Amino acid sequence: MNKEFIKKMVKAEKLKYEAIKEILPNNLRQKVDSFEKDAFNLLKDVALEIIKEDVNEESHTDKKTTKKVNVDFS
């Protein structure tokens, strides 16, 4: 039930945002659309860079080994 509520709330916010965009003047709507595309591309690039860094980090990590050391305190 909680999951369905969240889905409906997100959908309601999306519809509210689209309704607000519909009443904007054309030049302002075009700027908002351009901003949305740029923001999406930026987020996509950031996500790809994070994934690449994680893959590179995993491939470059060496296996660490431990050895037992005997210490003579005499």
CB 23 within 8 A of CB 32: no
The first and second tokens of residue 35, run together, are 């901003």
pTM score, whole prediction: 0.59
CB 21 within 8 A of CB 29: yes
Residues 6+ apart with CB under 8 A from 21: 29, 32
- For the segment 13-46, what is each residue's pLDDT rounded down to a tens digit? 999 999 999 999 999 999 999 999 999 999 999 9
